[in-house]
Amino acid sequence: MDFNIAVVKGDGIGPEIVDEAIKVLNCVGEKFGHTFNYKEVLAGGCSIDVNGVPLTQETIDICKNADSVLLGAVGGPKWDNVDSTLRPEKALLGLRSELGLFANIRPAMMYEALADACPIKKEIIGDGFDLVVCRELTGDVYFGKHYRKESENGYGIMGCDDMNYSTYEVERIARRAFEMARVRSKKVTSVDKANVLETSRVWRETVTKVAKDYPDVELDYMYVDNAAMQLVRNPGQFDVIVTGNLFGDILSDEASMITGSIGMLPSASLNEGGRGMYEPIHGSAPDIAGKNIANPIATILSAAMMLKYSFNLTDEANVIEKAVNDVLNDGCRTADIALKGEDVLSTSQMGDKICEKIKLG
């Protein structure tokens, strides 16, 4: 089969890690007889440099017309001082909203081989964990009105960001979470701050209503502060965590770190039709950009998610996931997951090792 993929390499380490994901996709394509066509587009800081804006209509159109979008990372200190409406991150937010990617799926699991890189003690981790953060991605304070006004009490300028959620938005992400839990361990934890926020009270009421359609799935609730604590106290208790945009942003970084490195976590951002954008959850890491030392695994696993979620190529996706697992078991490590004294592979060497396994497997 033929698939058209829009590729947004972006900034910082984006180009290096995306190149490895493409290498792996081509390897899988060869093995299974698929052709992946890539159309590279600019977004983020590199687009600011060339076009004066982080996201052009051309990029949006190409991404909308592609079968899927593969993205590296955007942003960096070079663009820290640009006007807030022109920041590189706006490209990411713009693509998410233009493509209607409301469901952000961020799986985090413990790799046996990386147990020593996990910052949590063995006694606490026990048998490990396998959870997925199901983050709402096109609403919340991220997309509320951002503005400034003079405060009324003479306290100076006030920065304001509207936080809001409609029942429609909560219902559709909640349904995704329950559907996902159904084929996993049948447990959803809804994370909010309903003891303080009205947004969260609407969230909780709506999730509770949706749960009635999924009697086979257990539902519990957690306040976000407690959830942050429980993630490091007992991550094994979670299956699917469903939460809003802001809380999901924070909790997914935390979830990634307990796997050993933020360089391991992939993500899928899906719309109502199943179209998606696939990207690592980490950022552009400008401090290590261009050095061929970044970990490409999160992006490679994001490509695997693309095969599974957008192209229905489950066997092909499993082959990638198994290859990653196998190279980790063989002791292959990039700098971020290496322990002191262990040999370290470069970004491209890690990509090569994974391809070798795919060819063999």
Q: Minimum CB separation from Mg ion for residue 248, in Å?
A: 9
Residue 291 annotated as catalytic: no
- Using CB under 5 A, list all residues that contact Mg ion: 249
Measured from the CB atom, is 22 or 92 closer to ligand IPM?
92
Decide: is 13 part of the binding site for ligand IPM (CB under 6 A): no
Question: What residue number has its CB nearest to ligand IPM?
Answer: 89
Q: Which residues within the stretch 217-256 sit at the binding site for ligand IPM (CB under 6 A)?
A: 249
Q: Does residue 165 carry a catalytic annotation? A: no
Give the one entry of Mg ion, ligand IPM, none that residue 248 binds, where binding means its C-beta sits below a cut-off of 5 to 8 angstroms depending on kind.
none
Separation between Cα atoms, residue 20 and residue 360, nearest integer Å: 18
Return d(Cα 175, Cα 103) in angstroms, integer: 10
User: Is 149 marked active-site?
Assistant: no
Q: What angle do CA 316, 317, 321 make, to 5 degrees?
A: 120
Q: Can 336 be counted among the known catalytic residues? A: no
Active site residue 253: yes
Least Cβ distance, residue 309 to ligand IPM (angstroms): 17
Least separation in angstroms between residue 164's CB and ligand IPM is 17
Could you say which of 9, 90, 193, 357 is catalytic? 193
Catalytic entry in 11, 249, 326, 336: 249
Q: Following DSSP, what letter does each residue of 107-128 receive, concatenated?
A: EEE--GGGGGG-SS-HHHHTT-
Instruction: Report the nearest approach of Mg ion to the CB of residue 252 (Å).
Output: 6
Pairing of strands 35-40, 266-270: unpaired
Nearer to ligand IPM by Cβ, of 141 and 338: the residue is 141
Q: Work out whether 281 is an interface residue with ligand IPM (CB under 6 A).
A: yes
**Cβ-based nearer residue to Mg ion, 249 or 326:** 249
**Do 203 and 237 touch, CB atoms closer than 8 A?**
no
d(CA 320, CA 304): 6
11 forms part of the interface with ligand IPM (CB under 6 A)? no
Q: Answer for the pair 13, 64: CB distance below 8 angstroms, yes or no.
A: no
Backbone angles phi, psi at 157, to 5 degrees: -70, 140
47 versus 352: smaller Cβ distance to ligand IPM: 47
| Candidate residues 17, 18, 25, 92; the one interacting with ligand IPM per rule CB under 6 A | 92
From the list Mg ion, ligand IPM, none, partner contacted by residue 89 (C-beta under 5 to 8 A by kind):
ligand IPM
Task: Kindly calculate the radius of gyration of the chain based on its CA atoms and give it in whole angstroms.
Answer: 20
Burial of 148 (0-12, 13-18, 19+ CB in 10 A): exposed
Sequence-separated (6 or more) residues with CB below 8 Å from residue 328: 111, 113, 114, 337
Closest approach, Cβ 14 to ligand IPM, in A, equals 12
Element (DSSP H or E) covering residue 35: strand 35-40
Of the pair 43, 281, the CB lying nearest ligand IPM is at: 281
What is the set of active-site residues? 142, 193, 225, 249, 253
